[in-house]
A and B are shown apart, each in its own frame.
Chain A
Amino acid sequence: MKKTLSISTALGVCLIAMSANAAPANDKAADAAAASKVTTVCQNCHGPNGDSTSATFPRLNAQQSDYIAAQLKTFRNHSRDDPHAMAYMWGMASQLDDASIIGIANYLARQKPTEAQTGGSLAAAGKKVYMNGVEADNVPPCAACHGDHGEGNGEMPRLAGQHADYLKKQLEDFRSLVRTNDIMHANTKNMTDRDIESVVSYLAND
C-alpha cells in the first residue's frame, strides 16, 4: 500500500512538475516577443527598458502592468483621445493584439524603476498634498489610490519617478478634460497650479 501510494504520489508530483514545466515554455516565447517589441519599437521614444529621456514620452519602467495594458487598449480603440495619444499612440497600438499588450505590459512592469528625486523647495508641500490632499478644496489624497510611495496599484499608475513635465501636463489635462477620465477630473478639478507644481515636485524625477 505504501509503495502504491508512493508511486501514485510520485506520478502526481511528476505530472504536476510536467505541467508546470510546459507553461514556462510558452511564457518564455511570449516574453521574448514582448522584449523584442519593446527594445525595437517602444524604446525609440520611451527609452531603454522604458526609462525615457524626453518628458514628451512617459517613463514606463516599473509601471503597473494593468495600467499599461488598459492604456494600450484605450489607444487601440481610440477612447483616449488627448493630443499626444492621438498623434503618437493611436498608430502604435493599432495592430497590437491582446496577447501582445499583456506581454509588453508585463515586460515593462518588471523593469527597474526610476526613483523620485527627493528634496526641492516645493517637495515638502507636495508630500502633504499627496498624502493628505487639500481638504479645503476637496482635493483627495493621491496616496489613497496611487500608494504611499507613489508606486501605483493595479490600474492606478505608478507616479513616483515620472518626468515632472509629463506629470504636470497629465494633471492639467485631467483638470481641463483634455484627457477624459471622470475620476481623475473629479480629483483634479479643484487643484490649483501651485498644488500641481508641488505634488509634481514631490513625485518626479527629471
Chain B
Amino acid sequence: MFLLPRIRRTLTIWPAILCGLVLTLGLPSKAYAVPSFARQTGLACEACHTVFPQLTPFGRVFKASGYTMSNTSKVQDVDRMKHYLMSLSDVPPISVMGVASTSSANKASDANSSKTSTDFPQQLSIFYAGAIADNVGAFIQLTYDGQAGNFGIDNTDIRFADVATIYGHSVIYGVSLNNNPTVQDLWNSTPAWGQPFLGSPTMAGPAAAARIEGAMAQSVAGLSAYTYVDQSIYGEVGVYRSALQGASVSNIGPSGVPPTDVITGVAPYWRFAYEYDWGQQSLELGTFGLQASLHNPTTVAGDSFAQSLQAGPTDRFTDIGLDTQYQYIDDDNQVTLTGRAIRENQRLDASFAQTLSDNPSNRIDSANAVLSYFWRRKIGATVGLFNVSGSTDVTYFGSPNGKPDSTWGNVEVDYLPWLNVKLGLQYTAYTKFNGASNNYDGNGRNASDNNMIFGYIWFAY
C-alpha cells in the first residue's frame, strides 16, 4: 500500500471527509515483485510464484524462513566457534518495480474531475529484499506514489527465522517486525497480499472495510512470533502499536491537528492456518484477527492530546477473519482460488459519546472470493467477487440510508511476455456502492457510475 497522508479506508469519526479522501485512495493499488530474491537464491520466479505476487508452497517456505535462503557467494566472518558474525552477499538485494496505467470510469466522480486518467508512473518502488545476516532477512519497500506525488515507506517486514528438526518434524520459527497487519502472512487470502494486486488509483473505491484490510498500513509497528511446522501448521501471535509517519504520537501534528486513530496501548494480532499438500495441489484453511482500541483526541473536549491519550473513551475494533486458499500448480496450469470473510465488531464508546455515531456499536462484514488461472505463467485471467455490509448508522457511515454496503466484481486478463513483466486489463463493476445501487450519495450518483476499466504495465527487476 502506498504512503498516504493518514487517510484510511475504514470509516472513522469523519465519514464525509473520509469519503472525499477516498477519491485519492481509491481501490487498493498495492503491487509487489522482488527479483532480488531470484538473484539471491539463483531460483527462477516460478520456484516461489505461480505468477507474481502469488506464492507457491515453496515461496511460502522461503518467506517463513526469513527471506534468507541464498546461493550466492558471500563475504563472511566467523568467531572461534565458527558462528557467523557477518554474511554479506556479493549481490546487494535491491530491486526496482514500476507500474504505469490508464483508467476510465463510467462517470467522473464530480464536476471538477475527469473520468479518465493516465498515471505514468502510477507507482515506482525500490526494495531491499533479501538476507541481512545469516538468519535475518527483510522485505523493505519504498514507494513513489504518482497520484500523491510523494515518496515514503511502504510495506516492510523484517524477520529473524531459523529451522529445527524436532522429533522428525521440520519446525520453522521466527519473529517478524512489520508495519501492516497480514503483510507477514504466507497466503494470498489475507488482506495485505490479497487480490486485486493492482487497482486504479484515480477513482473512489468503497468507503467501508474492516480495519485489518489496510487501514493501519504503514501507520503501525508490529512484532509477532510465529512457527510453521512441516510446511503445514502455522501459528502466529503478536502486537501492534501506532507508529505514525510524518507526525509523532506524542506531539500535535505539524498542521496543529492531533493525529487520529492512535492505538491505545497495543493491538493484539493472531493468525492460525493449516495447509494440506497433495500431488500438485494444496488447500489452506485459516483464521486471523486483530483488536485495536483507537483514540481520537478530539473526542475529549477541553483536554490536551496527552490527556486524551491517557484517559477517555476509545473506539474498539475487533476483527475476526476466516480464510481459505486452494492451488493447483504444474508447468502448464496455475490455479489459485482464495476466499476470506471478516467480521468486525465496532464498540464506539468515543464516537457515540461525541454524537459521531447513532449507535454505541456497529458491525461490518467484509468477504471476497477470487479465482485466477494462468496458462504456462504467460496468459491468465482472474475473477473476483467482493461484498461489504454492515449496521445502519447514518451519522457514522455517512450514507443517506445509513448503510456501508458495497458489492462489486472484477475481471482481469493478464499477459506476461517475460516472467517479470505483466500487462493487465481489469474491469470492475459495482452493483452497490456506499449503501445503495442508485443515488447512493443523495446527488443522483449510481453505483455503476464507478465502474472502471483499468489497463497497466507492471515490471520488476
Partners in one complex: yes
B42 and A94 within 8 A (CB) = yes
Given the known A-B contacts A54-B277, A90-B42, are A165 and B330 also in contact in the complex, defined by CB atoms under 8 Å? yes
Q: At the interface, yes or no: B112 with Cβ under 8 Å from chain A?
A: no
Residues of chain B from 226 to 241 with CB closer than 8 A to chain A in the complex: 230-231
- B79-113 CB mask vs A (1 if < 8 Å, else 0) is 00000000000000000000000000000000000
Residues of chain B from 18 to 64 with CB closer than 8 A to chain A in the complex: 41-44, 46-47, 57-58, 61-62
CB neighbours of B58 from chain A (8 A): 44-45
Given the known A-B contacts A48-B170, A87-B47, are A56 and B42 also in contact in the complex, defined by CB atoms under 8 Å? no
Q: At the interface, yes or no: B165 with Cβ under 8 Å from chain A?
A: yes
- Segment at the interface with B among A35-43, A65-73, A97-105, A128-136: A35-43
CB neighbours of A92 from chain B (8 A): 41-43, 71
CB neighbours of A206 from chain B (8 A): 279
CB neighbours of B43 from chain A (8 A): 87-88, 91-92
Q: At the interface, yes or no: A55 with Cβ under 8 Å from chain B?
A: yes
B163 and A40 within 8 A (CB) = yes
CB neighbours of B168 from chain A (8 A): 48
B170 and A55 within 8 A (CB) = no
Query: Which of B73, B170, B330 interacts with A95 by CB under 8 Å?
Result: B73
- A69-95 CB mask vs B (1 if < 8 Å, else 0) is 000000000000001001110111011
B170 and A39 within 8 A (CB) = yes
Chain A: interface residue total (CB-CB under 8 A): 22
- B247-291 CB mask vs A (1 if < 8 Å, else 0) is 000000000000000000000000000000111100000000000
Q: At the interface, yes or no: A53 with Cβ under 8 Å from chain B?
A: yes
Shortest C-beta distance, B84 to chain A (Å), equals 14
- A8-40 CB mask vs B (1 if < 8 Å, else 0) is 000000000000000000000000000000011
CB neighbours of A40 from chain B (8 A): 163, 170
Q: At the interface, yes or no: B329 with Cβ under 8 Å from chain A?
A: yes
Expressed in whole angstroms, the Cα–Cα distance for A95 and B71 within the complex equals 6
The chain A residue with its CB closest to the CB of B278 is A53
A56 and B277 within 8 A (CB) = no
Residues of chain B from 312 to 367 with CB closer than 8 A to chain A in the complex: 329-331
Q: At the interface, yes or no: B148 with Cβ under 8 Å from chain A?
A: no
Query: Which of A41, A44, A53, A87 interacts with B279 by CB under 8 Å?
Result: A53
Expressed in whole angstroms, the Cα–Cα distance for A56 and B278 within the complex equals 12
Query: Which of B44, B61, B165, B279 interacts with A39 by CB under 8 Å?
Result: B165
Given the known A-B contacts A41-B69, A43-B170, A87-B47, are A53 and B42 also in contact in the complex, defined by CB atoms under 8 Å? no
A54 and B280 within 8 A (CB) = yes
Shortest C-beta distance, B418 to chain A (Å), equals 14
- Name, among A45, A56, A83, A165, the residue most crowded by chain B CB atoms within 10 Å (CB to CB): A56
The chain A residue with its CB closest to the CB of B69 is A41
CB neighbours of B331 from chain A (8 A): 56, 83
B71 and A56 within 8 A (CB) = no
Query: Which of B41, B61, B163, B170 interacts with A91 by CB under 8 Å?
Result: B41
Interface on B for A, CB 8 Å cutoff? 41-44, 46-47, 57-58, 61-62, 69, 71-73, 163, 165, 168, 170, 230-231, 277-280, 329-331
Interface on A for B, CB 8 Å cutoff? 39-41, 43-45, 48, 53-56, 83, 86-88, 90-92, 94-95, 165, 206
